[in-house]
Amino acid sequence: MTVMAIRMYIKYRNNKYQILRTTSVWFFQIVFAFLIPEILVRFDKPWYDFKNAFPLDYDFFFSWNLNSLIASGGFGLFILVWGIVLTLVVVPVMVYFFGKRWYCSWVCGCGGLAETLGDPFRHLSNKSIGAWKLERWLVHGVLAFSLLMTGFTLYSYFSGAQVVLGVKTQTIQNIYGFLIGSIFAGVIGTGFYPIFGNRVWCRFGCPLAAYLGLVQRFKSRFRITTNGGQCISCGNCSTYCEMGIDVRAYAQKGQSIVRSSCVGCGICSAVCPRGVLKLENGPLENRTFSPEFPLGNTLK
């Protein structure tokens, strides 16, 4: 990640947003995902990555973790409260103000890897309508699966029953851990960058991205505004959108981009030769309309 971050610095040396963003994901990965947890363990505290929010951190409510946190006294309880507050308060409030980019493109480890190691493969994302439909089914399906599993987990934890509705909670946890945690997030999500592009996990599988996306779509100040009159239809923006969004179609119509999947990486803006695209946080009203075309249009 460090080597590929240096590559990003060189490639986007004239783009302040990309330099800052790359520094941010690198910092959060090195300090939050590696250094702080290792230091905690040295001091006999639980291993914990303070930026890894549930449901991406899908085993946060597993009994072994809850027992470990509770057994660790005040500090463990602090982690328990922080983990809940992070998911229920910090994440949605930050998405309201800044869009999901604050997490997916500035903080997250998966996003950090995708934006450094995966950058050479971003153009491979599938741009078809079929992929968009599949994306919505899959990513929301994984979110529902993670919530269902967590419901079973918490019921088992508080009631002591290991079987809920005829199904062993442990079995559901094992299936989720293997299929989603290992195969989808690990093998496909990272190993298949050269085939499916660099955000295949974030786009099709991450339950946290699905949650952030719902807030971004319906209750966020973030949007990408387009200056349609300047667009020369070169298609660079669509080609390099790692989430498979047809950015050019929005630009041609002069419509602001408000999509739940947009991670706000800003590459569409960076590669646009005409300065058409701007990542902005503004008022909630009329956010799908562009200042250039105040009456808006019908593209959803």
Give the residues lining the site for ligand SF4 (CB under 6 A). Answer: 224, 231-237, 241-243, 245, 247-248, 251, 257, 262-268, 272-274, 276-277
Q: Least distance (Å) from ligand SF4 to the CB of residue 246? A: 9
CA distance 175 to 178: 5
Shortest distance, position 272 Cβ to ligand SF4, whole Å: 3
CA nearest neighbour of 259 among 110, 124, 148, 104? 104
Least separation in angstroms between CB 104 and ligand SF4: 9
When the beta carbons of 69 and 276 are compared against ligand SF4, the nearer one is 276
Q: How many CA atoms lie within 13 A of 256 on its CB side?
A: 27
Q: Which is nearer to ligand SF4, 91 or 251 (CB)?
A: 251
58: which 2 tokens?
Answer: 């899908």
Q: Answer for the pair 199, 230: CB distance below 8 angstroms, yes or no.
A: no
**3-state class (DSSP) for residue 294:** coil
User: Which C-beta is closer to ligand SF4: that of 91 or that of 224?
Assistant: 224
End-to-end CA distance of the chain: 35
Determine phi and psi for 101, rounding to 5 degrees. -60, -30
CB of 232 to ligand SF4, least distance (A): 5
Q: State the minimum distance, in angstroms, from the CB of residue 97 to ligand SF4.
A: 17
Smaller CB distance to ligand SF4: residue 185 or 237?
A: 237
Task: Give 56 or 267: the residue with its C-beta nearer to ligand SF4.
Answer: 267
Instruction: Compute the least distance from the CB of residue 126 to ligand SF4, in Å.
Output: 13
Q: Name the β-bridge partners of 293.
A: 290
Give the nearer residue to ligand SF4 in terms of CB position, either 172 or 224. Answer: 224
Q: Measure the CA dihedral 250/254/260/266, to 10°.
A: 90
Q: How far apart are CA 292 and CA 251, in angstroms?
A: 11
Q: Which is nearer to ligand SF4, 65 or 105 (CB)?
A: 105
In the chain, DSSP assigns E strands to 163-164, 167-168, 222-226, 277-281
Q: How far is the CB of 273 from ligand SF4 (least distance, A)?
A: 6
SS3 of the chain: helix, strand, coil, percent, to 5: 60, 5, 30
Q: Is-cis flag, bond preceding 55, omega within 30? A: yes
